[in-house]
Amino acid sequence: MRKIYVLDTTLRDGEQSPGVSLTAQEKVEIALQLERLGIDRIEAGFPITSKGEIASIQAVAKVIKQATLVAFSRSKEQDIDAAREALKGAEDACLHIFLATSPIHREYKLKMSKEKVLDTLEAAIQYGRKYFSKIEFSAEDASRTEVEFLCQVTERAIKAGATIVNLPDTVGFATPDMFGQMFKTIRENVTGIERIQLSTHCHDDLGMATANTLAAIANGVEQFEGTINGIGERAGNTAVEEVALALETRSDVYQAKTSMVLHEVYQTSRMVSKLTGMLVPGNKAIVGANAFAHESGIHQDGMLKNRATYEIITPATIGVTSSKLVLGKHSGRHAFKERLIDMGYHLDEEQLNTAFAKFKELADRKKEIVTEDIRALIDERAKEG
Ligand code: KIV
Ligand code: ZN
């Protein structure tokens, strides 16, 4: 199995979610949990943004012992100096420099020619190399960059001393086929590519961040970037837990694995949701409240006979104690009877039929039937009987 490195950017790109701001203490708490989760590289923030941000990263640097600590920086000396300040106490540090490369960013945002972009990124990486042995360079908006130019960018970044080159789908524009092809072209045409790790970083504007990340992995990238619960700018980033579980569950397809401690996934998701205030939708893959809940009678019957009929991941894999059979109007007798037994009721066939008919009547009026509803229903039947 090929090892895939994970760079978690919950504390940087995730914190760029509208309305999210984390205190130093909150960043420390999340970083410690990310380390328990077995994340290889933790991007702790964007130091140039404020003095408080530098102090937060320094606080994270004091407690992180296993993971590499990463700080984000524009291709500017003042940003790199701020990153040096922020990362000075880190056990293992990596500077993450970025510069946009696509025509629209070159023309309107940067007002730079292709040559100027190449010279700017080269100068920034060379400056960074004076202070850091590990440098990641990101070609912002890579998926909308001419692929020949992207080859030149990657080559120049390698020559200047980058150790990781990250090609992001910054605006979630890529499709899996084109994104996979882009990495294949880079691998086949860039001189020196074997000297660095290739990385990917996707956004979810069209709901394809996980699929695009997996396409990049299938085409040889060694690192992917993402956030817990997929939080981040606009529609968010690739959800780290989705890619990790896809690799785990479909190792037959990808033959690649992360070093993540998967049973810490759920706890990490809850913590990030609580500290960022970003709620996890019920139907969110892997960590949503309904990810292991079953309501229809047919599904519940299948689950009671063999859980693999309707679950491709066991809840225990991500640290959830058990699946949930939700009682509602689609539920069947089998699940209803099991719930009664769990609650200590042992009804004969006729009693069960009457109780089940009452349960169905109630389920037409009430979306989810909870334990108290069932107790009331049985006690009422007992009084009548
Ligand atoms: O989305 C992006 O391109 C980023 C950086 C890696 C530049 O967040
Ligand atoms: Zn991003």
Atom of ligand 1 nearest to the CA of 16: 8
pLDDT tens per residue, range 66-90: 999 999 999 999 999 999 999 999 9
Atom of ligand 1 nearest to the CA of 141: 3
Residue 362 has pLDDT above 70, yes or no: yes
pLDDT tens per residue, range 243-282: 999 999 999 999 999 999 999 999 999 999 999 999 999 9
Q: Is 299 labelled a binding residue? A: no
Which pLDDT belongs to residue 269? Answer: 98
CA of 233 to the centre of ligand 2 (A): 7
pLDDT tens per residue, range 93-127: 999 999 999 999 999 999 999 999 999 999 999 99
Which pLDDT belongs to residue 186? Answer: 98
Q: Is 201 labelled a binding residue? A: yes
Identify whether the C-beta of residue 7 lies closer than 8 Å to the C-beta of residue 41. yes
Is 332 near ligand 1, meaning CB less than 6 Å away?
no
CA of 183 to the centre of ligand 2 (A): 18
Protein residue with least CA distance to atom 1, ligand 1: 170
CA of 202 to the centre of ligand 2 (A): 7
Is 75 near ligand 1, meaning CB less than 6 Å away?
no
Question: Mean of the pLDDT values across residues 210-223?
Answer: 98
Is 140 near ligand 1, meaning CB less than 6 Å away?
yes
Protein residue with least CA distance to atom 7, ligand 1: 140
pLDDT band at 321 (very low <50, low <70, confident <90, very high): confident
Q: Is 263 labelled a binding residue? A: no
In whole angstroms, what is the distance from residue 55 CA to residue 36 CA? 23
Question: Mean of the pLDDT values across residues 178-197?
Answer: 98
Q: Is 166 labelled a binding residue? A: no
CA of 97 to the centre of ligand 1 (A): 10
CA of 169 to the centre of ligand 2 (A): 8
pLDDT tens per residue, range 122-158: 999 999 999 999 999 999 999 999 999 999 999 999 9
Q: Quick check: pTM over 0.90?
A: yes
In whole angstroms, what is the distance from residue 142 CA to residue 174 CA? 10
Residue 381 has pLDDT above 80, yes or no: no
CA of 102 to the centre of ligand 1 (A): 13
* Ligand 1 pocket: which of 102, 200, 201, 225 to mutate (most atoms within 8 A of CB): 201
Is 170 near ligand 1, meaning CB less than 6 Å away?
yes
Is 5 near ligand 1, meaning CB less than 6 Å away?
no
pLDDT band at 385 (very low <50, low <70, confident <90, very high): low
